[in-house]
Amino acid sequence: MNKKALFGILIALIIPLVAYLVMRTVNTVTPPQRIFFDSVSTKISKGKEITDTIWSRVPDFSLTNQMGQKVSWKDLMYQKNDSTIDGKIVVIDFFFTHCPTICPTMTRNMKLLRNNIKSNNMVGDREANFVHFLSVSVDPERDSVPELKRWADRFQINPENWWLLTGNKKEIYDWARNDLKLAIVDGGNVDTSFMHPQLFMLLDKDRVIRARRDESGNVKMYNGLDSADLKNLAEDIILLSLEKDPKKKSPLAGKLELIAIVFAAAGVGIVLLVLFMKKENRRT
């Protein structure tokens, strides 16, 4: 074996090993974190204590969209490129069509966010079918389907991936307060008395609320009126779309260290074999 061949073999073995070590040391981007949990349990597995967290999943809803269609969580499923069916990432905000203050701005910002999220298809339809937007009325008694349709036409909202929702007032308020952990105050028929958050809520495909945390560990929700938060939300939607299902283990899961050791051992073995062959050649 000549020196060039030996050098090529060593390069082929060393590159994967170096790449592995780099991936182990370089910081990766952190996706938005889960916020609320139902319970935490611990168990001993193979001599190690493992913590299992049951995260709070936002319950189902039954509301009517701007097209007059009764919709719920089961309608927020889509077919992936590999033909499997998966849940969508969901962004939720609350508004009402008689709102004289922040609602038009929040709707414009939601539309801007929606328009900036694209699929990773290089050609063809680049519509991001993995994310859906919900704007829920806090004034459902006045926000009938025709009122929602007028609001949708005003802002050119596509019902394919953005629903304006109305329904039973008590159910909406209970859903917002108890399940989405939001503060909403009923203003009756006085528009300026309605109090609803100016937040965009981010839910992953398992209906778990996600958000960022600051350096002190405090939760940072997404302010629908803040451009920096909108940018963060757009980034986090993409991160969630790339997030792997923790229930589906990779064939290489837990084996990377072993693979690295095998590459290193193979490299050493080849070097020793070449040295041995050279020594034998000298003897002959």
Domain shared by 58 and 182, yes or no: yes
Domain shared by 23 and 83, yes or no: no
Domain shared by 38 and 23, yes or no: no
Give the three-state DSSP class for 103.
Answer: helix
Mark 260-283 as b/e (b = at least 16 C-beta within 10 Å): beebeeebeebeeebeeeeeeeee
Rounded Cα distance between 278 and 86, Å, is 58
Q: Judge whether 138 lies within some domain.
A: yes
Contact 63, 167 (CB under 8 A): yes
Domain shared by 69 and 89, yes or no: yes
Rounded Cα distance between 75 and 97, Å, is 24
Print pLDDT tens along the chain (284 aa). Answer: 555 555 555 555 555 555 555 444 444 568 899 988 888 888 887 778 788 888 999 999 999 999 999 999 999 988 777 677 789 999 999 999 998 889 999 999 999 999 998 765 544 456 788 999 999 999 999 999 999 999 999 999 999 999 999 999 999 999 999 999 887 767 666 555 567 789 999 999 999 999 999 888 899 999 999 999 999 999 999 999 988 765 555 444 455 555 556 555 555 556 555 665 666 666 66
Domain shared by 152 and 236, yes or no: yes
Q: Judge whether 150 lies within some domain.
A: yes
Rounded Cα distance between 223 and 212, Å, is 12
**Per-residue pLDDT at 42:** 81
Contact 144, 169 (CB under 8 A): no
Rounded Cα distance between 177 and 184, Å, is 7
**Per-residue pLDDT at 122:** 44
The CATH number for 56's domain is: 3.40.30.10
DSSP string, 29-82: PPPPEE--EEEEEEEEETTEEEEEEEE-BPPP--EE-TTS-EE-GGGSEEE-TT
CA 204 to chain centre: 5
Rounded Cα distance between 198 and 76, Å, is 23
State the DSSP code for 191.
G
Query: Whole domain around residue 160: which residue ranges?
Result: 33-242
Domain shared by 209 and 272, yes or no: no
Domain shared by 155 and 231, yes or no: yes
Domain shared by 237 and 160, yes or no: yes
Contact 148, 166 (CB under 8 A): yes
Domain shared by 237 and 263, yes or no: no
**Percentages (nearest 5) of helix, strand, coil residues in the chain:** 40, 25, 40
Domain shared by 229 and 260, yes or no: no
Rounded Cα distance between 196 and 27, Å, is 38
Total domains, the chain: 2
Q: Judge whether 220 lies within some domain.
A: yes
H or E, element range at 149: helix 145-155
Calculate ∠ Cα 279-280-281, nearest 5°: 90
State the DSSP code for 26.
S
Domain shared by 51 and 121, yes or no: yes
**Per-residue pLDDT at 244:** 75
Domain shared by 270 and 193, yes or no: no
Per the confidence metrics, is the pTM higher than 0.75? no
Q: Judge whether 248 lies within some domain.
A: no
